[in-house]
Amino acid sequence: MSFNLATILRESRYACPGKPLCHSQDRTLSYEQVDEASGRVAAALLALGLERGDRVAVQLPNLPEFLLCYFGILKAGLIMVPLNPLLKGREIAYHLADSGSKMLVAFSLLAAEAVAGAEEAGGTEVYVVTLPGYDQIPEGTKPFTDLLAAEDTGDIVPTNADDTAVVLYTSGTTGKPKGAELTHFQLYMNCSVSGDLFGIQPDDAILAVLPLFHVFGLSSVLNVVVRFAGTMALVPRFEIEPVLDAMEKHRCTIFSGVPTMFFALLHADTAGRDLSALRVGCSGGAAIPGEVIRAFEEKFSGVVILEGYGLSESASTTTFNINAEQRKVGSIGKPVWGVQTRVVDGQDRTLPPGPENVGEIVIRGHNMMKGYWNNPEATAEVFRDGWFHTGDLGYADEDGYFYVVDRKKDLVIRGGFNVYPREVEEVLYTHPAIAEAAVIGRADERLGEEVVAYVALKAGAQAEEQEVIAFCRERMAPYKYPREVKFLSALPVGPTGKILKKELRT
């Protein structure tokens, strides 16, 4: 079956050509402008000799040029390889070489590392996006504007529905990053199903601060907006004042983010701001504490936070709480349309419902990746009998709602007892002085592992280690509470705002 994901842009352009697709600082681009400009990029890429199935890496923050590259690459029948702009030269070289990318589009302010990585990878050609009024680019690179000089032919190269559209690299928490191959059809199904679940409406404006190079931002924000002809307010990075400014200026109705973003907004000074347009918060990427949900909805009256679950390998959304009436706080919801989810034991046998029956969450459906790029061994490790093994531990309840307890690798086994860090973190988040919390296991000669908590305090708040330990001890079984509490000014986070436990372990 022939299908190209870029069709979602073309169809929305036909429906509302002059409607704003994205706002970015002082720039606004309509659907017609994005469709036409991305067509120029597509024509330029083909004129340079790139052929269907070739890979093009894009290392940009949330700027309109990301959209032009994305849809231009898709229209040309090529494969997009989104990369984090903060990667260093050595890391860039790995991604370029592993994906076999023939071109890299980078951001001028961070282009030095891109150039170094491209040279190490074997001389990948680099095009550089500059900010308006900033024309300087590194020697040996070409300006992105060269890719806009071609004439838009209006063509969209026919691709098969199961052709790879995007190779999206995992974070590499266990070894080198692997490239998940996501197809045109998988990404289309995710944005179609997710948009319906989010209840997106024609006049919705979505705040796009999640990085578009990440599956959450790419698949569940950008693709959803374009598929349903919405409008997005692009914010390059999560900083409270720019986020609140964009939310207020563009009357944003939907905010998608990870729990640390919701927590930051919860404690931000919003006095005098009109944020009344906001009606839905979509949380994912990590478990959001129930206490944060309750406090956020109390502060932002009329807003409901709906939690979901997904992975790079599942093209984003896998389960979701569809509305305030049917959600269960603390749950990741039910499987989305066309997706099956179950909890299995070590022999891949389905476990019965109940929190006492914790096992690994496995998935199958239209949303699952083709496999890891050029890595059949890693693909075989995660797929068994058609089911993708997530590495996440959880359980289901009698109503079919799923709950994530923790990552397999994050599980702490203390004296033979399983301690799920998320459960301890939920308790820590109820402490009045604690702003952020993360729990890990530390090797212990007697018990195997000991429970250690890392916390950051709220501004102006004070707490002592033994007081926090006592707080947890009063609320948890004796084998669960942390015996050690370490205080940091802020916990380390990744590009999406997810707390990086691997850095706490080093």
Please give the pLDDT value at position 199: 82
If one counts every other C-beta atom within 10 angstroms of the C-beta of residue 350, the result is 12
- Residue 490 to residues 434, 438, 455, 457, 498: CA-CA distances in angstroms? 11, 11, 8, 8, 12
297: part of which helix (H) or strand (E)? helix 290-299
Residues 194-211: pLDDT tens digits? 998 888 888 999 999 999
Question: At a CB cut-off of 8 Å and minimum separation 6, what does 39 contact?
Answer: 72, 75, 152, 153, 154, 155
Q: At 208, phi and psi to the nearest 5?
A: -105, 85
Residue type, 472: C
**Could you say which residues of the chain have pLDDT below 70?**
135, 171-175, 416
Please give the pLDDT value at position 151: 97
Distance of CA 23 to the CA centre of its chain: 20
Q: Are 236 and 188 in contact (CB under 8 A)?
A: no
Reading across the β-sheet that carries 103-107, which strands appear in turn? 142-143, 125-129, 103-107, 55-59, 79-82, 164-169, 179-183
If one counts every other C-beta atom within 10 angstroms of the C-beta of residue 447, the result is 18
Residues 228-276: pLDDT tens digits? 999 999 999 999 999 999 999 999 999 999 888 898 899 999 999 999 9
Please give the pLDDT value at position 394: 94
Q: Which residues pair with 87 in a beta bridge?
A: none
Long-range contacts (CB closer than 8 Å, 24 or more residues apart) made by 474-479: 475/427, 475/430, 476/423, 476/424, 476/427, 479/414, 479/415, 479/417, 479/419
CA distance 198 to 226: 14
Residue with tokens 């839905």: 280
CA distance 303 to 288: 16
Ordered structural domains, the chain, with CATH: 7-181 (3.40.50.980), 186-408 (3.40.50.12780), 411-505 (3.30.300.30)
CA distance 173 to 232: 31
CA distance 9 to 435: 40
Please give the radius of gyration of the chain, using alpha carbons only, rounded to the nearest integer.
Answer: 23
CA distance 93 to 116: 8
What 3-state DSSP class applies to 445?
coil
CA distance 210 to 434: 24
CA distance 489 to 501: 15
CA distance 200 to 194: 9
CA distance 186 to 265: 32
55: part of which helix (H) or strand (E)? strand 55-59
Please give the pLDDT value at position 175: 61
Closest among 7, 23, 18 to 227, alpha carbons compared: 7
Q: Are 237 and 85 in contact (CB under 8 A)?
A: no
Q: Any idea what the Cα angle at residue 183 is, between residues 14 and 75, rounded to 5°? A: 40
Residue 164 gets which letter from DSSP?
E
